Amino acid sequence: MYARIVAWALEVGKRWARLMSEHQTIPLGLKIKHWLADVVVLEKMRNAMGGRIRILVSGGAPLSAEVALSFLGAGLPIVQGYGLTETSPVISAGQLRNNRVGTSGKPIRNAEVRIAADGEIETRGPQVMAGYWNKPEETAAVFTPDGWFKTGDIGHVDQDGFLIITDRKKELLKTSGGKYIAPQPIEQLIKGSRFVNQVVVIGNGRNFPAALIVPDWQQLEAYAAFKGLDLKTRAEFCASPRIIDLFERQIAARTTELAQYEKIKKIALLDREFTIEDSELTPTLKVKRRVIDERYREVIERIYSEPSADRATG
């Protein structure tokens, strides 16, 4: 029962936070619900973090809008910062009174940002390094002829000057039809499902994107018990048409805004997590896509060799 109350309170908080972040009028009914949610649940969240948090800053990886709204709705403002070691390390950051969910804020003072023709973020200013020590060739490779540092990240600046990071340039997938796909935003959308623990979008050189998914086994087993599904092993879960259909519906509902060529056409469920120990994740929990591509080559080949009407499982 309490879990349902918590879920309700978080959802109310997100609705309230979304309107707040967009500077829209909050209906009286929602104000009352948010007050009640705060009394019952959200205040406890703040107290669990010390009760005196003014602002939280996220960096190192994209912050899901759902997570940001959950924190904001609980009275725990969280903003994103962006930068690299070579930029000391900040290029842009959100501010308490000038924050936009889903962005990395505006460039800091004296830092300039521009977007190259291929979408790469470039910057210059006093925060940028002079060069790599005793490595002139490597240094030349990361600077444009007119002196801008090439970050290796893909993104854009919105009409109000907020920087939005899409993905790493080297991680963009290029389909056989020549379309470029940024996998991380799609993965973030899919992770919005409570049934998903980990996900990797694949499709480089293929004619459509697909996804390798590690389920949240606690949630999935509870779902199977509720539905009366006779599934005992993880392998049985991964092969079950009912379970595959569940994930396909979850993904479809969360990716409606994507372009057609970006939408996931097939999935494979995996019965084990990606780990640092198996060299599938970096120490900061970023996916090593080349390792995943190699380690799950058979699963991937099966996804793309089966007829489109079939479902792929791993």
Beta strands in the chain (DSSP E): 56-58, 78-82, 92-93, 106-107, 112-115, 120-124, 149-157, 163-168, 173-174, 180-181, 196-202, 210-215, 266-269
Which distant-in-sequence residues (6+ apart) come within 8 Å of 58 by Cβ?
68, 78, 79, 80, 81
Cα torsion angle, 247, 197, 257, 291, sign: negative
Average pLDDT over residues 101-117: 96
Class of domain 172-305: alpha beta
Residue 291: which residues within 8 A CB-CB, separation 6 or more?
A: 279, 280
Instruction: Please write the tens of the pLDDT for every residue from 153-181.
Output: 999 999 999 999 988 898 999 999 999 99
What tens digit of pLDDT does each residue of 41-72 get?
999 999 999 999 999 999 877 788 888 999 99
Query: CA angle, 194 as apex, 259 and 266 as ends, to 5°?
Result: 40
Task: State what percent of residues in the chain have pLDDT above 70.
Answer: 98
How confident is residue 308, by pLDDT bands cut at 50, 70 and 90?
A: low
pLDDT above 90 for 284: no
pLDDT exceeds cutoff 50 at 309: no
Task: Tell me the per-residue pLDDT of 110-151, one tens digit each, with 9 for 90 and over.
Answer: 999 999 999 999 999 999 999 999 999 999 999 999 999 999
Topology annotation, domain 78-169: Luciferase; domain 3 (2.30.38)
- Distance in angstroms (rounded) separating the CA atoms of residues 173 and 189: 17
Is 239 a residue whose pLDDT tops 50? yes
pTM of the model: 0.77
Going by pLDDT thresholds of 50, 70 and 90, the confidence category of residue 274 is very high
pLDDT-derived band of residue 21, with 50, 70 and 90 as boundaries? confident
Residues 191-204 have pLDDT tens digits of: 999 999 999 999 99
Alpha helix positions (H), 40-92: 43-48, 65-73
pLDDT at 311 over 70: no
Segment (H or E) for 241 = helix 241-254
Question: Please, where in the chain does CATH 2.30.38.10 lie?
Answer: 78-169
**Residue 47: burial class (beta carbons within 10 Å; 0-12, 13-18, 19+):** exposed
Distance CA 117, CA 68 (A): 30
Where in the chain are all domains bearing CATH 3.30.300.30?
A: 172-305
Structure tokens belonging to residue 60: 């190192």
Give residue 108's pLDDT. 96
